[in-house]
């Protein structure tokens, strides 16, 4: 990137090379249902993760914080922004995540 500038010493040229903007973390909203909501006692969480984090890492974090959620590990489905996704789908900044355990009822 190039640009011109003026200082007390006169005009000059500014060069920026290898400019790279890195996002160090992303913030997502995690909607909680059933056992997840019971464990956390809130309907949603706002969490930060590194970029390129798979949605499965959210479940891992919740289970790490509340080990009683371990039985739900292999039966929970994932949604991002109202669409079902695979566990390896990467989350993005400002995504709305849902963790959906099995539902039964009559």
pTM attached to this predicted model: 0.75
Q: Is the dihedral of CA 59, 64, 69, 72 positive or negative?
A: positive
Q: Residue 24 corresponds to which tokens in the numbers above?
A: 């160090």
Any idea where the domains of the chain sit in the sequence? 25-100
pLDDT on residue 7: 45
Quick one: fold of 25-100?
A: Ubiquitin-like (UB roll) (3.10.20)
Rounded to whole angstroms, how far apart are CA atoms 95 and 62?
17
Read off the pLDDT of residues 8-66 as tens digits, 9 standing for 90 and up: 444 545 555 565 556 688 999 999 999 999 999 999 999 999 999 999 999 999 999 99
């Amino acid at each position: 990137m190039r640009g011109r500038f003026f200082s007390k010493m006169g005009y000059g040229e500014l060069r920026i090379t290898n400019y790279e903007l890195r996002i160090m973390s992303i913030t997502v909203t995690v909607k909680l249902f059933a056992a997840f909501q019971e464990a956390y006692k809130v309907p949603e969480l706002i969490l930060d993760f590194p970029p390129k984090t798979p949605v499965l890492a959210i479940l891992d974090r919740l289970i790490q914080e509340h080990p009683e959620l371990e039985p739900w590990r292999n039966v929970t489905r994932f949604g991002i922004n109202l669409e079902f996704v695979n566990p390896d789908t990467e989350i993005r900044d400002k995504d709305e995540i849902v963790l959906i355990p099995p539902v039964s009822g009559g």
